[in-house]
Amino acid sequence: MTTLERRPRAKPAGPRARRFAAFALLVLACWGTLLAIAAPPSSDLPVLRTTSPGVDSTARPDNLVLTFDRPVSANLATVRLTDPYHRPIDPDRPVHANGRAETISVPLPKQKYAGTYSVAWSVPAGADVAANGTFTFDLASRSPVQDAPVLPARPSVVVTVAHGIAQFGALAAAAVLAGAALLAVFRPVGEGPMRRVATYAWFAAIGLTTAAFLTFGPYTAKLPLTEAFKTLAGTMDSGAGAVLLARLAVLALGGLAVAQLMTAGAAATARERWARAATVAGCAGALAVTWVFVAPIGGPARHTQAAPVRLMFDTGADKGLLDLAVTPGKIGDNEVHVSVLDTKDVAKDGLGVTVAFHPPDAAVPAVPVPLARAGTGYSTGSVRLPGPGQWELELTVESAGGKRETIYGVVDVPA
């Protein structure tokens, strides 16, 4: 007779183990939702690499187009112009030119006057920074250059107050919600007033976060509240807008957790009680992160950029334009952006471009700039300028047949 040894079956997970798994999954869901929807906004500044019409150029375009080195939020950008008679022009809201995410475009008036137009622009670059600058272009002829339009330095008081109340109010409501949840962990609240407090706090947090989302566009673009719905697309495309949407999603998950805690009985053991407390803390932590990545009250700080320099070239085989931007134009590491255009401001390939910097001290050898193709007619590279002074820029354009032209300029590096 053969004796079979029976192995003991694994015991099914009990209610306590399932509760612990549920707590862990809830925390993971909150943080997973946050990371899936929102990413820390980048504080890298977009660089204006070319304009159409070009800086100091003479043209009669229908639209003003600004092209950057990376995608930008056109819906949250601001562009203002002044015509040759010192009259301000407030164009429509900027859009992406032909759907290109790295551009912003505004229409120019149908009635155009000969002379010099001044432009001021601003583009948000993250939670707390914005790039801005000024330049001029000419229509048909050149007239005396005038001061550039002045962009609002800060959002209006009404917009600032509305956005601030929404942000701080949502934070206070979330804190009350987290406090009510912790109280439910250590002291069952039953049907008492604490349940009503938690319910009101949750609805308040949801409503005020929605208000912060709606007011973010006017707040960032420094527009009146009446422009809130016109800037919604820009808010949704921005990093801060994604963070606010993530906050709403985490609040939805947190609301389910608080509801369960409010209706559950007392924890059976101290271990389960602390597991519930850790769950509340984990979800509240995910929620708290969303306040770190949204623009501080007062609006993003602006960083002014010099306008790209426009140069003409003629190799004998090709004619065109070069837009050159060197940023930040200071001692240390700098970025060099070169855009090759035809005479109608359209990017063109097929030309070789080399760049080198000659230091103020002629005895020191030139510093070449390795360029890499970054798009049609667009190359970028980096260079380290170790000292101040007037650095001579040597820029060579070469056609496919080997004909070339060398252009010289000066980059003034402050001490």
pLDDT category at 9 given cuts 50, 70, 90 is: low
pLDDT at 212 over 90: yes
Report pLDDT digits (tens) over 365-407.
888 999 999 999 999 999 998 889 999 999 999 998 889 999 9
3 state DSSP class of 368: strand
Q: Side chain identity at 276, as an amino acid letter?
A: R
Inter-residue contact 23 to 275 (CB < 8 Å): yes
Q: Residue 200: what pLDDT?
A: 92
Greater pLDDT, 409 or 267: 409
Instruction: Determine the Cα–Cα distance for residues 274 and 260; give it in Å rounded to an integer.
Output: 16
CA distances to 306, 321, 322 from 312, in Å? 19, 5, 6
Question: Does 345 have pLDDT greater than 90?
Answer: no
Residue 8 has pLDDT above 60, yes or no: no
Which is more confident, 299 or 103?
A: 103
Copy the structure tokens of residue 411.
């980059």
Q: Which of 11-25, 114-128, 216-230, 336-350 has the lowest mean pLDDT?
A: 11-25
Single-letter amino acid code for the residue at 114 = A
Look at 27 and 60; give whichever has higher pLDDT.
27
Q: Is 145 helix (H, G, I), strand (E, B) or coil?
A: coil
Distance CA 209, CA 215 (A): 10
Half-sphere exposure (CA, 13 Å, Cβ side) for 16? 9
**Token duo for residue 194:** 């604490």
SS3 content of the chain, % helix, strand, coil (to 5): 35, 30, 35
Among 374, 308, 318, CA closest to 351: 318
Mean pLDDT along residues 259-278? 76
- Cβ atoms < 10 Å from Cβ of 361: 8
- Whether 46 shows a pLDDT value over 70: the answer reads yes
Cβ neighbours of residue 201 closer than 8 Å, sequence gap 6 or more: 173, 174, 176, 177, 180
Taking Cα atoms as reference points, which of 335, 406, 344, 402 lies closest to residue 374? 335
% of the chain at pLDDT higher than 70: 89
Mean pLDDT, the chain, whole residue set: 85
In tens, the pLDDT along 387-397 reads 899 999 999 99
In this prediction, residue 191 carries a pLDDT of: 54
Instruction: Give me the mean pLDDT over the 198-221 stretch.
Output: 92
- Residue 73 is which amino acid? S
pLDDT score at 340 = 94
Judge whether 379 and 397 are in contact, CB under 8 Å: no
The Cα 407–Cα 206 span in angstroms is: 59
Domain ranges of the chain: 34-307, 308-413
Least confident of 242-251, 264-273, 319-328, 378-387: 264-273
- pLDDT bin (cut points 50, 70, 90) of residue 300 is low
Given pLDDT bands bounded at 50, 70 and 90, which one contains residue 153? confident
Q: What separation, in Å, do the N-terminal and C-terminal C-alpha atoms of the chain show?
A: 98
158 touches 132 (CB < 8 A): no
At 223, list the tokens.
Answer: 């527009």
Percent of the chain, pLDDT > 90?
Answer: 36
Confidence of residue 162 (pLDDT cuts 50, 70, 90): very high
Q: What is the mean pLDDT of residues 122-143?
A: 83
Q: What is the mean pLDDT of residues 229-249?
A: 87
pLDDT at 11: 45
Helices (H), 222-238: 232-237
Residue 339 has pLDDT above 90, yes or no: yes
Of 96, 155, 88, 76, nearest in space to 119 by CA: 88
User: What is the pLDDT, as a whole number, of residue 296?
Assistant: 60
Residues ≥6 apart with Cβ < 8 Å to 321 = 54, 57, 310, 311, 312, 313, 340, 341, 342, 343, 345
Q: What is the CATH T-level fold of the domain 34-307, as seen in this structure?
A: Immunoglobulin-like (2.60.40)
- 324 and 337 Cβ atoms separated by less than 8 Å: yes
CA triplet 199, 201, 207: central angle to 5 degrees? 105
For the segment 123-151, the average pLDDT, to the nearest whole number, is 83
Q: How far apart are CA 226 and CA 223, in angstroms?
A: 8
> Are the C-beta atoms of 397 and 352 separated by less than 8 Å?
yes
* Sign of the dihedral defined by the CA atoms of residues 4, 7, 9, 11, in that order: positive
* Homologous superfamily assigned to 308-413: Macroglobulin (MG2) domain (2.60.40.1930)
Whether 100 has a pLDDT exceeding 60, the answer reads: yes
Query: Is 164:297 a contact under the CB 8 Å cutoff?
Result: yes
- Residue-level pLDDT at 394: 92
**What pLDDT score does 194 carry?**
76
Given pLDDT bands bounded at 50, 70 and 90, which one contains residue 77?
A: very high
Question: What pLDDT does 138 receive?
Answer: 87
Is residue 79 classed exposed, middle or buried when 0-12, 13-18 and 19+ CB atoms within 10 A define those classes? buried
Residue 10 has pLDDT above 50, yes or no: no
Q: How confident is the model at residue 299 (pLDDT cuts 50, 70, 90)?
A: low
Model confidence band, residue 39 (pLDDT cutoffs 50, 70, 90): low
